[in-house]
Amino acid sequence: MAILDVQNLGISFGGLRAVDNFEITIEDNELVGLIGPNGAGKTTIFNLLTGVYTPTDGSIHLNGKNTIGKKPSQIVMLGSGRTFQNIRLFKNMTVLDNIKIAYHNRMSYGLFGSIFKTRKYYDQEAQAYDVALELLKVFDLDMYESELAKNLPYGKQRKLEIARALATDPSILLLDEPAAGMNPQETEELMETIKLLKTRFKISILLIEHDMKLVMGICERIVVIDYGRIIAKGTPKAIRKNPAVIKAYLGE
Amino acid sequence: MMKKFEFKNLKTNSVFINLAAVSIIFLLIFVLIVTGLLSRYISSILILILVMIIMSTSLNIATGFLGQLHLGHAAFMGIGAYTASLLAILLRDSIGSDVVLFITSTVGAMILAGLAGLLIGWPALRLKGDYLGIMTLGFGEIVKTIITNMKGITNGAQGLYGIPKIMNFPTAFWTTVIVVLTIFLFMNSRHGRAILSIREDEIASESVGINISRYKLLGFVLASMFAAVGGSIFAFNIGFIAPQQFNFLRSVEIFVIVVLGGMGSLTGSIIASIVLVSLPELLREFSSYRYLLYSSLLVIMMLFRPQGLMGTREFSFTRIFKPKLVPTNDEEEPDEKGSDS
């Protein structure tokens, strides 16, 4: 069964058809790239997939469950995690707390437990701490544990955002332009991180990116959209030569 | 591997150290009162300080931690004060013990204020910032007007007389300790973190699975319930309440305490309550100039320390006992919170 199955997805804002007849199927542990010129509708698609917008037509199934009409927080629990184009961390909280917040739904103690500090509270908080520290270690962030998130360098903030998304235990990760604003060295490091996500966490990834070197270097399949429609899909090699793609990016 | 005592936010033993320190403070004041060294006037001001501590720490849940501008907090104090007083007048003959009477009527007041908190939390799901501020301000005036016009029950604008004066310093003190401790423990749980994450970034918070509607409502309901406790102590201390005691100015007074103490710092609210309630009293000799001094202090504070006394940090007595064990994190605190008010 596909992790993510999207059929005939579309949304109109007034008279503007932002996304039209979009479809994508992502299998287990697959890394798919979503590219297109500026304003093509990539982030809109992410917002549709994560429940920020409700599509006007089409269907989205995540792990076999319909997500349309559900709130973003409910869709997270069905198994999707995301990062944002402009990093959105909990800036004034510690690196560790950033991860712990994402671990929220995997703990179950209630209000009573938080005030009377029950056994369950201690067990689950200790577990949250272990999981968070484990995740930070994977991304080499464990030395910043008690640093405020806003004090991290840019590349590390990206990593932290990815680590935070992973703490919700997603089966698919949606990365919105993770390399935006990074220098070549940081991009290189990011490529390694994304590869690590695939090998270590065995999750599927849908990636929006403008950095062609990154996209061509790591994606197994690429979907190209322009004006909200799919204009090409296939392997990186095929996409590179596709005349429709070249036309969309460079003009006639 | 046991990590129990490595939590960054909460060391269980630090709670006990702080409770012990608070008990010592209590004993000192209590001895002074019993021996008659503190006049009735001063001990009544002490209770007023405790009321404002409850009011400001509870407003801190909605404003400091949840990050929502709330300018109608006095309304919930009023709801609490009136509900508790009316319940106490009704029940005073059937309940003999003062403490039991206080607890029963306060619990009743908390329930009603909590329901009213749901009412104000509902629009808070849609409104933000200034808009929410104006909405809460309007809500506060509505509550005041309703209380004024329910003459049959509340005796209208003349105020409610004959409330049993069952408040004394120990009861007020320990009630305040319980309220503050409860808020502190709540904020150091997954629920508290969820509320903080909403202040930091709603969209990101939702994207990691936090049900933001639920936590916003919870924040407002908790703030309202604890405000009712403050109102209840206030009423039982003075024995007389009137609607205009819970007007917009009172809301602003509480708001100023929260901002001055530091939005997101419970100990900041406590210190600011002590300073801002006692200052006008201490300045009594300067009579007409005292409010000038008071207001100047506010202006100076905001100019030189916009993030408030404590920023978002907390003071712990463990700093005094073992100063080296507590990591100092005294870099400049964010002043975004302070500047948007």
pLDDT by residue, tens only, chain B of 341 residues:
344 444 444 556 778 888 889 999 999 999 988 888 888 888 889 999 999 999 999 999 999 999 999 999 999 999 999 999 999 999 988 888 889 999 999 999 999 999 999 988 888 888 888 899 999 999 999 999 999 999 988 998 899 999 999 999 999 999 999 999 999 999 999 999 999 999 999 999 999 999 999 999 999 999 999 999 999 999 999 999 999 999 999 999 999 999 999 999 999 999 999 998 988 888 777 767 777 877 888 888 888 888 888 888 888 887 666 544 444 444 444 444 333 33
* CB of A33 closer than 8 Å to CB of A234: no
What pLDDT score was predicted for residue B339?
38
Partner A contacted by B208 (CB < 8 A)? yes
pLDDT > 70? residue A18:
yes
Residue B6 is predicted with a pLDDT of: 45
A183 interfaces chain B, CB cutoff of 8 Å: no
pLDDT confidence band for A83 (50 / 70 / 90): very high
Candidates B199, B203, B207, partner chain A, best to mutate (most A CBs within 10 A): B207
pLDDT value of residue B11: 56
A128: nearest CA in chain B? B190
> Is B201 in contact with A89 (Cβ distance < 8 A)?
yes
Chain B contact present for A117, CB below 8 A: yes
State the distance between the two ends of chain B, measured CA to CA, in whole angstroms: 45
| Smallest CA–CA distance from A151 into chain B, residue | B331
Long-range CB pairs of A153-156 (<8 Å, 24+ gap) are: A154/A87, A154/A181, A154/A182, A154/A186, A155/A182, A155/A186, A155/A189, A155/A190
Q: H or E element: which one contains A132?
A: helix A119-138
Positive or negative, the CA dihedral B93, B98, B100, B103 is positive
In percent, the amount of chain A with pLDDT more than 90 equals 73
- Partner-chain contact B201 A100, CB within 8 Å: no
* Cβ burial, residue B262 (10 Å; 0-12/13-18/19+): buried
pLDDT score of B335: 41
pLDDT at B336: 40
Q: Which of residues 121-150 of A touch B (CB under 8 A)?
A: 121-122, 124-126, 128-130, 145-146, 150
CA distances for A1 relative to A24, A27, A67, A222, angstroms: 13, 7, 16, 20
Task: Supply the pTM of this predicted model.
Answer: 0.88
The residue to which tokens 């209630």 are assigned: A110
pLDDT of the residue at B326: 44
**Short-list B202, B206, B219, B229, CA closest to B118:** B219
Of A104, A117, A124, the CB nearest to B210: A104
Q: Are A228 and A197 in contact (CB under 8 A)?
A: no
- Between chains, do B2 and A126 touch, taking CB under 8 Å as contact? yes
Q: Give the residue-averaged pLDDT of A40-53.
A: 93
Q: What's at B67, amino acid-wise? A: G
The pLDDT of residue B9 is: 46
Q: Exposed, middle or buried: residue B224 (CB in 10 Å: 0-12, 13-18, 19+)?
A: buried
User: Measuring CA to CA, which residue among B71, B74, B68, B102 is closest to residue B88?
Assistant: B102
Closest partner residue to B201 among A88, A102, A167, by Cβ? Answer: A88
Q: What is the pLDDT of residues A147-199, one digit of tens each?
A: 999 999 998 999 999 999 999 999 999 999 999 888 888 899 899 999 988 99
B332 DSSP assignment: P
Judged by a CB distance cut-off of 8 A, whether residue B328 touches chain A is no
pLDDT of amino acid B321: 60
Q: Return d(Cα B17, Cα B8) in angstroms, integer.
A: 16
Residue with tokens 């919870």: B218
- Which of A98, A32, A6 minimizes the C-alpha distance to B200? A98
Give B158's contacts (C-beta < 8 A, 6+ positions apart). B242
d(CA B2, CA A75): 33
How far is B263 from chain A, CA to nearest CA, in Å? 13
Output the pLDDT for position B5.
43
Q: In Å, how far is A241's CA from the nearest CA of chain B?
A: 36
- Averaged pLDDT of chain A: 92
In chain A, what residues touch B210 (CB-CB under 8 Å)?
A: 73, 101, 104
Is B196–A93 a contact, with Cβ atoms under 8 angstroms apart?
yes
Instruction: Please report the pLDDT score of residue A27 as a whole number.
Output: 93
B303 in reach of chain A (CB within 8 A)? no
Phi-psi region of A140 (alpha: psi -120 to 50; beta: other; left: phi over 0): left
What span, in angstroms and rounded, lies between the C-alpha atoms of A99 and B8?
13
pLDDT of residue A96: 95
In chain B, what residues touch A130 (CB-CB under 8 Å)?
1, 3
Chain-centre distance of CA B86, in angstroms?
A: 22
A72 in B contact zone (CB under 8 Å):
yes
- Say how many C-beta atoms besides its own lie within 10 A of residue A136's C-beta: 22
CB contact under 8 A, B201 and A115: no
The distance of A17 to chain B (nearest Cα, Å) reads 24
Looking at CA atoms only, how far is residue B299 from chain A in angstroms? Answer: 26
* Closest-CA distance of chain B to residue A247, Å: 35
- The rounded distance, in Å, linking the Cα atoms of A155 and B192 is 29
Which segment of A110-114, A144-148, B4-8 scores lowest on mean pLDDT?
B4-8
DSSP B140-202: HHHHHHHHHH-HHHH-GGG-B--------HHHHHHHHHHHHHHHHHHHTSHHHHHHHHHHH-H
> d(Cα A165, Cα B31) in Å, to the nearest integer?
55
B332 reaches A (C-beta below 8 A): no
Q: In whole angstroms, what is the distance from residue B2 CA to residue A240 CA? A: 53
- The single-letter code of the amino acid at B246 is F
Q: Given CA atoms A144, A149, A151, A154 in this order, what sign does their dihedral have?
A: positive
Q: How many CB atoms lie within 10 A of CB B245?
A: 19
Q: Write down the pLDDT at residue B340.
A: 38
As a whole number of Å, the CA-based R_g of chain B is 20
Which residue has better confidence, A104 or B319? A104
**B190: contact with A, CB 8 A cutoff:** yes
Q: Is B213 helix (H, G, I), strand (E, B) or coil?
A: helix
Q: Between A and B, how many CB-CB pairs are < 8 A?
A: 115
Question: Is the ipTM value over 0.85, yes or no?
Answer: yes
Q: Which residues of B touch A92 (CB under 8 A)?
A: 200, 312, 334
- Which B residues 241-280 touch A at CB under 8 Å? none
List the structure tokens of B25: 């403070």
